[in-house]
Structure 1
Amino acid sequence: MTGFCGRARLPVAGFDSAEASEEYDHHQEIARSRYADMLYDHDRNDKYYRGIRAAVARVRARGEKVIVLDIGAGTGLLSMMAVTAGADFCYAVEVFQPTAAAARCIVEKNGFADKIKIINKHSTEVTVGPGEDMETKANVLVTELFDTELIGEGALPSYEHAHRCLVREGCAAVPHRATVYAQLAESELLGSWARLRPIEVEGSRVLPPPAVADCSGVHSVCDIQLSQVSPRSFTALGPVLAMFTVDFSQPVSSAPRSYSSQFVARTGGRAQVVLSWWDLDMDPAGGIVCSVAPSWTYPRPETAPWRDHWMQSVYFLPVEREVAEGENLTLAVRHDDYSLWYGLGSRGRDAILSRPSCTCHAHLAWTRARFGELNDKVRTERYVSALRGVVKEDSVCVGVSDGSLLPVFAHLLGAKKVLSLDSLSMSKRAMEELLEANSLGGRVALPDIRPEQLTCQDLGGEQISLLIGEPYFCTSLLPWHSLYFWYCRSALADLLRPDAVIFPRSAALHVVVVEFRDLWRIRAPCVTCEGFDVTPMDEMIQKSMDLRESHEAEPHPLWEYPCRALSPSAAVVTFDFTRRVPRRPVVSRGSLALVRSGRCHGVAAWLEYRLSPDVTVSEGLIRPVDERGRCEWSRHRKQGVYFFPSAFESAGDGGDAAVFYEIKFEPASGDITMDFNIESG
C-alpha cells in the first residue's frame, strides 16, 4: 500500500493481525470462554450445589455407591461439589484440552485427585468397562451443557448418548429437567432488527425489495441481555407460555420435535417477535430452580441474577401479522438437535414450522444491529441533512460502505452520477435487489470491483467530486475497523477532483473511564469459588488476557451492559479523511481525570464521525453523560472495551487521580493499541 494511493490490494476491514500460534489460539478460546463469569455466578453455583447434594443423598438412600458423571466439566467445580457432597467417585469429561489441563491442576490442588478422574474427550467418545475411561456406568449425571438457547451446545445428542452408554437406568440427574418459556410480542425496536422498513427521503419512498420483505430470515438465535430492553419497548400480546420440558433423568432424544401452546391474545397488535428463556429444576420436586428469565419478570428486578454465559433469546416470526384482542392463537416451536424456531397459527390453522432460511442474501450479509441501523429514522435524517449541503447537480458520487443507502440518498438529492462499492458479494446482491425494486438499477451503479480497482473509465472519464461512506463494513468488529474507509479514500486519491468533498470529513476516537455494573465479571480474577480454589483457571485466564489483550480492546454492545462514566469523555485521536492515510504511526498521549467515585474497571472507546461542520454521528455515547455518570450507548454498533488488569477505586474528589493513556494507530496494519496507567494524587 505504498503511498496509499496506488492500485495495491487494500487490507480487509477488520485488519487481520492476530498471532497464529497454537498456544495463542488455545488461550484466545480461554479468554472468550466466560469461565470467570460462570465462576462468579453465585446463584448458578448455589443451585447446582444444592441439587447435587440432593441427588447424592437420593442415590445413597437407595443403598448404592454414588458414581457421578460430569459432562462438560470445565474447571471441575461441579465434580468437586459432588465429591464434597459425598459421592464415592466422579468422572469429569471435558473436551477442550487447555481447560481439561487446568481442571486437573484444580482438582489436585483441592485434594480430590483420588476421587475425580479428568477425561479429556467428547462424552460421545468415552468408553465404559474394565481398563476403559470409566470402570462402570454412573448413577448420578451432572451436566452444564447449556447455552442461551438451552440446546445450542449439543445438549440433546450428549444426553442421548449418555443415557444409552454411560449412565444406569433410573440415574439421578442434575439438573433434573429444563423448561423453555416464550412470549409473543409486538416491538418496533426488536422488529427493526429483522426486516428493512420503507424510508422517506425528499418526498420519495424507498421500499425494501420483495425478496427482503418476504424473507423469513436466518434461523440463528438473537441472544441479548433482554433485561436491558425496557418493557416500554414492547407490547406483550399474550402470557408467558411454558412451551416444552425436557426430563434429563430419562432417555433423551435429539430427533426434531414440535410443541405448541394455545392462548388468547390479551391485546391487539402486530405479532413480530417471540421472547424466550428457560429455567432448570435441579431436583425432581422443583424446589431448587435456576432461572434465566429477564429481570423485569421478577417482583423485584434488582434481585435477578446477572449472567453473560446464559442470556435470553429473541426469535423473529417468519411472517409478521396483525392479531386481535381475544383472538385464539397457537404458538408453536420446533427444534432439531441444536436450535429452535417459532411459528404462529390461529383459528384452527397450524403454525408454519419450516426452518427459517434466508433467500434474499441481506440476512446473511448484514447483522441484526445493521438492520436496526438502516431502519433508524433519526439517524437517516442526520445523514440526509448533511448530504443536502454537499450534493450538487453535477456531483460525481462514489459510495464506499457495505449495504449502504447513502448512494441512493445522493441520487434522490440530485447527484448526476452515483456509483456504490460494496466489499461483500452478498451485500452487493441485496443492494441490487433494492435498486431494482425502486427502479433505480440504471441510476445507481454497483460495479463489481474494489476501490483500488476503480478507473476513470468506470467513471465515464470524469473524476470523483463526492466520496461518501457511513462508514460501515460487514467484516468490522471493533469501531476503528471502519477506518477502512480512510484506506479506500487514499486508494482513490488519483481519481478525486482537487475540490472533492469527503463525507464524512473526519472521525475522532473517544474514550471514557467506566465502572461496569456487571460486565467486569467476565474478566475478574476467580481465585476461589464456593470454597474451592480455582487459581489455575485464574492464571490461564490472566495469561490469555496477557497474550491477547495487553494492548487491545475487545468489542461489546454496551447498551446491554450498564456502566457509569468516572471521567469526562475525551476525543484522543482525530483521523482526517480529507488527507491520505499517513505513512507513520499516529501517537496520542494524555490523561483522563477521575471526577466521580467508583470502581474503575476499564475504558470504553468509540468513533464519532463529522459529516459536516454542523452534523456529527456517534457510534458510542448518543447523549451527554448525566450528573451521576450514567451512559446511554448506541444500539447499532459495538464499542471497544479495554479492561484494566485489575480494578481500582476512584475517590472522585477533585484530586489529582487520573488515568494516563498512550493511543497508537499503526497505518501499516490499521490496528490501534492502547496503554493506560493510573496515577493518584
Structure 2
Amino acid sequence: MRFLLNKTLLPFFSFSPKTSVSPQTIANFKVTTVRTMGSGSTQRMFQLKLDPLTGNSEWVVVEEDEAPEDCQKPLLAATSYLDMLNDTRRNRAYREAIDKTITKPCHVLDIGAGTGLLSMMAARAMGTADSSSSSKGMVTACESYLPMVKLMRKVVRANCMERKVRVINKRSDELEIGVDITSRADVLVSEILDSELLGEGVIPTLQHAHDKLLVENPQTVPYRATTYGQLVESIYLWKLHDLYNNEAKASDGIHLAPKGLETILCVKSQQLPLHCDSMNEEIKLLSEPFKIFEFDFWKRPESHGETELHIKATNDGTVHAVVSWWILQLDSEGTILYSTSPKWISCPFEIKESQSSFSSDGDWCDHWKQCVWFIPGKGLSIHKDEVVHLNAVHSDISISYDVKSQPARTEAGQHDSCTPSFQLILSPERVAVYGDNNWRCLILKAVNDALQRSPSLCVVADDSVFLPIAIAYLSKTSHIISLFPGLKEKGAQYLQAVAAANGFSMDRVEVLKKRVSQLTMHDTYQKKVDLLIGEPFYCGSEDAVPWQNLRFWKERTMLESVLSKDVVIMPCKGILKACAMSLPDLWRSHCCLKEIEGFDHSVVNATLGACGDSPATQESPCLPFFIWQCGEIKELSEIITVMEFDFLKPISSCSGKAQVEFTNQGVCHGFAFWIDWVMDAENSIVLSTGPDQRYWKQGVKLLAKPVAVKTHRSDGGECCSSEIEASFHPSNGELVIKHTST
C-alpha cells in the first residue's frame, strides 16, 4: 500500500512503526498557522526524521517555501507511487472509463488525486472549459498528503492544466461546499484501493462524499468492485502463522507458544498482502473461485456487511488459507475491467466478453497483490465434494473470515484453548522464523557455546523474545536483562506469561524500561556484562533495508562502559553480501516515467526515485524487497562479500569494494544486498538474510540501464564483470552503495 494520509482514513492512521509505511520513511504533514497580524497563512511542513541506528525520531519544522528541492526524495522513493504509475493496464483502464463516462463539461471531484493523472484525464475528456469561471467544466483534485500535492502541482503545470484542475490540499472530509468547492460534484473519480480493497478507507470516504460532496445519483469511476476468494493448501502459508504446531517439531524444550497459550505469540488477525504467483508451485487449490462481496461506488456503501458461503471442495487436503483478490469494474456497462487475481485465474468467471486484460495477461506490479487470510492452527482437513462454510464479514476498512467444516464434524488440527488475555503481535515472517527448526538450532548452538564461559550477566540488546528464554532455559545461574527497545512493556508481559512453561523464574530475567544510552552500572547491579547478544531484530524494522539492524552495533557501542573486558558479543560481526540479479519485472515497475496516457510525468522521476532509463549520473535508491516475490528473477553471479562490520569494536566508518564476476548469461537489472550475521568467532554459525531466505527482505539497487552479460564459455563468449563499492556512515546509519561496470 502506498503512503496515503488521505480523506477520512486519517483518524485510523497511527504513528506507530507498525503502520504500512516502513521505518526509514519520513512522514510529512501540513500544518496551517494563522497569523495574528496581516492576512493569509503560513504553510509549514513537519518532517519526522528517524535515526535508524538509535530508533530515536524528532520533528523538524520546515517552512514550505524554504524546503530544499530534494527533501521529499527519500520519502517518496519508498512509496508505491512509481510502481502504480508504471502500471499500464491500470492507467489504460482508467483512461478508457473516464473518456466513456465524462462526455460533456461537468464538475468532477478526484479524491486522493496523487500526481493528478485522473484529474487531467477528466479535464481532457470535458474539452477546454475554463475551470476558473464556474463549477461546471471543472475538476477539483483533493489530496491531503503535502509532498504529493507539491508534486501534483508540478505535473499539472508541466501539462498546461493549471486552469482546468484545481488542487486542494485537504482530506475530502474537510471539504466544504461554498468554501472549498462551489457546488456538489457530478462525477467522482478516485483510486483509493489497496490490495485488500478497503484498507485505504474507501468506504468512509465514499460515505462522506455521497452525503456531502456529490449530487444525487452521481457517475463514478470506478463503478463497482467485487472481491473473490479461493481455498488453498500451502505449507509455507501455514508456517507464517501457526507457531504452536511448528515449534512442536523443534523438540528443543523451548516453548514460545506453550500449551494452553497457543496464540500468545501470533500474527495480527487481518489479511496479508502477498504475491501468490511467486509460490504457485507450492499452492494446492481446494476449491473453485467464489464471489464474496460486491461494493457499488455509485451509491453510498454500508459500513458493515456479512455473507455466508457454502463452498464445495474440489480436492482432498487441508485448508491453510483463503487467497482473495478483487475485480474492478470501471464503467457502468461492465466492459472495462481490472483484476488483481493470481495468474492461475485465466479469466474472470461470471463476467463475459471483457475489453480489458487481467492479471494472467498483465505485468507484475507491487502496489496491488493478492491477500491471504490464515486458517487458525493446523488448518481445516477436508475431502473432495465436502461443503465448507465460509462466513465473511467486512467493516469500514477490512475483510475477515471464519471457516468451518460441516456442523457435525470436528475441525482437524485445531486447539480448544481460549484466546489469552495478552497477545504479542508480530509479523508473519517473524512468527515463521521463530518456528523454523534450522534457525532455532543455529541460535541455540551459538548461545550454548557462549554459555560455556558461565556468564553471570547477559544482556539481550534487541527485541528478540527467543534469546532471553533460550538463555534462561540453558543456564540456571545467569542473570538476564532484556532491553526490548521496541517491544518494551509488551515484551515484559510476554516473558512473564511464558516463564513457568519454560522453567525459569522472572527473578532471573528482567526488562529495563529505559533507553540503552541511559543504562549504567547501577542497572547491572555493579556487574559488568559478560554476554551481549541479539539476533539482531528490532520490532518495526521488518520492512526496512537489512542494514538498519546495524542498530545492534550502535547499541553495543553505547554499552561500552558496562561491558567486561572479555565480553562475548553475538553476533560478533556482520557481512554485507551481494549478488547480481536479473529482475525484469521489478526494473520495469521502477522505470522513469515519460508519457502516461498522453500526460507528461517526467517531472516526478527524481522525487519518486525512478531507476530504470534514468541518467547514468543519477544514483538510484536502495529499497527493501522480498526478492523471491519480485516476479521473474535469476541470479547472474556468485554471492560476493562487499564489506564487514566488526561488532567487537565500537561503531566506526567503514568501506569495502568487491569485483562481481558473472557466472550466468542474462540481462542484469541490478544487485541484491543483505547481511549475514556471524554469531561466533570461528565463523561456524552464520545466520543469512539472503534471497534464498524468504523471511527477510533484501536491499535492491537497480541499474539505470540493463546490462547484457556473458560468461567464460566454450563458445568463446567474453567475460563481463562489475565493481561494487560501499561505505557505511555511523553518524546517520546510511550505507552508500555505488556500482561501476568494468
Question: TM-score interval w.r.t. the shorter chain?
Answer: 0.7 to 0.9
Report whether the alignment pairs 1:603 with 2:671.
Answer: yes
2:735 matches 1:673: yes
Q: In the alignment, is residue 473 of structure 1 matched against residue 538 of structure 2?
A: yes
Distance 2:453 2:658 in 1: 45
Displacement after TM superposition at 1:145 (Å): 1.3
Give, in whole Å, the separation in 2 of the partners of 1:501 and 1:304. 53
How large is the RMSD of aligned CA atoms in angstroms?
3.8
Equivalent positions of 1:525-604 (< 5 A) are 525-542=592-609, 553-562=622-631, 563-577=633-647, 579-582=648-651, 584-593=652-661, 598-604=666-672
Q: Deviations over 1:178-231 (max 9, x none)?
A: 001123344332233234223466663635144452677534442222222334
Output the CA distance in 1 between the equivalents of 2:523 and 2:74. 44
Alignment partners' CA distance in 2, 1:633 and 1:280: 35
Q: 2:499 aligns with which of 435, 445, 450?
A: 435
Does the residue aligned with 2:344 lie in a helix, a strand or coil? helix
Deviation at 1:653, TM superposition (A): 5.2
Task: Give the CA deviation at 1:643.
Answer: 3.9
2:289 paired residue among 226, 233, 240: 240
Deviation at 1:379, TM superposition (A): 1.6
Asked if 1:106 corresponds to 2:155, the answer is: yes
> TM-score, normalised to structure 1's length?
0.82
Where do 5+ consecutive residues of structure 2 fail to align? 1-50, 130-136, 348-357, 412-417, 713-717
- Superposed displacement of residue 247, structure 1: 1.2
Specify the alignment match of 1:409 in structure 2.
470
The total of aligned residue pairs comes to 637
How far apart in 1 are the matches of 2:672 and 2:309?
44
> Per the alignment, in what secondary structure is the counterpart of residue 371 of structure 2?
strand
What is the identity, as a one-letter code, of the residue corresponding to 2:549?
S
Matches within 5 A, 1:655-666: 658-666=721-729
How far has the Cα of 1:65 moved from its partner?
Answer: 4.9
Q: Give matches, 1:187-206, under 5 Å.
A: 187-197=234-244, 198-199=247-248, 204=253, 206=255
Return the letter of the residue paired with 2:361. Answer: T
Question: CA 1:537–1:90 in structure 2 vs 1: closer, same or farther (change >3 Å)?
Answer: farther
Decide which of 165, 170, 176 is 1:121's aligned counterpart: 170
Partner SS state of residue 139, structure 1: strand
C-alpha deviations, 1:592-628, integer Å up to 9, x for none? Answer: 345655554433221112234363434333xxxxxxx
Cα displacement (A) at 1:21: 5.8
For 1:148 and 1:322, the matched residues in 2 are separated by 25
**1:208 aligned onto 2:257:** yes
**Residues 266 and 443 of structure 1: is their aligned pair in 2 closer, same or farther, counting only changes over 3 Å?**
farther
Q: 1:508, CA displacement in angstroms?
A: 0.8
Query: Is residue 237–residue 268 contact of structure 1 (8 Å, CA) maintained in 2?
Result: yes
Alignment pair present for 1:362 and 2:424? yes
The one-letter code of the counterpart of 1:471 is: P
Q: Quickly say closer, same or farther: Cα 1:193–1:108, change in 2 above 3 A.
A: same
Q: Which residue of 1 aligns with 2:37?
A: none
Structure 1 residues 207, 269: closer, same or farther in 2, change over 3 A? farther
**What is the one-letter code of the residue matched to 2:169?**
N
Conserved in 2, the CA contact under 8 Å of 1:465 and 1:496?
yes
TM-score (normalised: structure 2): 0.75
Structure 1 CA distance for aligned equivalents of residues 314 and 465 of structure 2: 39
Matched, 1:617 2:669: no
What pairs up with 1:65-144 in 2 under 5 angstroms? 65-86=105-126, 89-95=137-143, 96-128=145-177, 133-144=180-191
Distance in 2, Cα, partners of 1:491 & 1:182: 50
State the AA in 2 paired with 1:557. Answer: F
For residues 32-47 of structure 1, the aligned pairs below 5 Å read 32-47=78-93
Going from structure 1 to structure 2, the CA distance change for 1:201 and 1:468 (only over 3 Å counts) comes to farther
Q: How many Å separate the matches in 1 of 2:720 and 2:592?
A: 24
Task: Report matched runs for 1:354-393 at 5 Å.
Answer: 359-363=421-425, 366-392=426-452
Letter in 1 for 2:624: P
Q: How many angstroms apart in 2 are the aligned matches of 1:250 and 1:14?
A: 48
Give the C-alpha shift of residue 244 in structure 1: 0.7
Deviation at 1:312, TM superposition (A): 1.8
1:208-261, CA deviations, whole angstroms, 9 ceiling, x for partnerless residues?
1444526775344422222223342x44443322111011122323x2222222
**Structure 2 CA distance, aligned partners of 1:593 and 1:82?**
51
- Indicate whether 1:163 and 2:231 are aligned: no
- CA shift in 2, pair 1:72/1:205, >3 Å: closer
Of structures 1 and 2, the one scoring higher in RCO (CA 8 A, sep 6+) is 1
Give the alignment partner of residue 287 of structure 1, picking from 335, 359, 363: 335
**Distance in 2 separating the partners of 1:503 and 1:67:** 63
Matches within 5 A, 1:234-383: 234-253=283-302, 255-267=303-315, 269-298=317-346, 303-317=361-375, 322-325=380-383, 326-347=385-406, 359-363=421-425, 366-383=426-443
Cα distance change, pair 250–493 in 1 and its aligned pair in 2 (3 A): closer
1:640 to 699, 702, 709: 699
Amino acid at match of 2:118: L
| Aligned CA distance change for structure 1 residues 413 and 480 (closer, same or farther; 3 Å) | same
Report the counterpart of residue 278 of structure 2 in structure 1.
228
> Residues 202 and 541 (structure 1 numbering): CA distance in 2 closer, same or farther, change over 3 Å?
closer
Counting aligned pairs with the same residue, the percent is 27
CA contact (8 A) 1:128 1:135 kept: yes
Residue segments in structure 1 that go unaligned for 5+ positions in a row: 1-10, 622-631
What letter matches 1:470 in structure 2? Answer: E
Indicate conservation of the 8 Å contact 1:607/1:619, yes or no: yes
Deviation of residue 337 (structure 1)? Answer: 1.7
Report the Cα distance in structure 2 between the residues aligned to 1:161 and 1:539, rounded to whole angstroms.
35
Task: Give the direction of change, closer, same or farther, for the CA distance of 1:585–1:324 in structure 2 (3 Å limit).
Answer: closer
SS in 2 for 1:297: coil
Supply the distance in 1 between the matched residues of 2:123 and 2:305 (Cα, whole angstroms): 36
3-state SS in 2 of match to 1:204: coil
Q: For residue 626 of structure 1, what is the aligned residue in structure 2?
A: none
Residue 454 to residue 71, structure 1, CA distance change in 2 (3 Å): closer
* Gap change, CA 1:452 and 1:84, over 3 Å in 2: closer
How do 1:23-34 and structure 2 match up within 5 A? 23=67, 26-34=72-80
Aligned amino acid, residue 284 of structure 1 = S
SS at match of 1:607: strand
> Would you say the 8 A contact 1:231–1:296 is kept in 2?
no
Cα distance change, pair 482–170 in 1 and its aligned pair in 2 (3 A): closer
Please give the alpha-carbon distance, in whole angstroms, between the structure 1 residues aligned to 2:605 and 2:234. Answer: 41
SS in structure 1 at match of 2:109: strand
**1:397/1:418 contact within 8 Å kept:** yes
Partners of 2:562 and 2:81 in 1: how far apart?
51
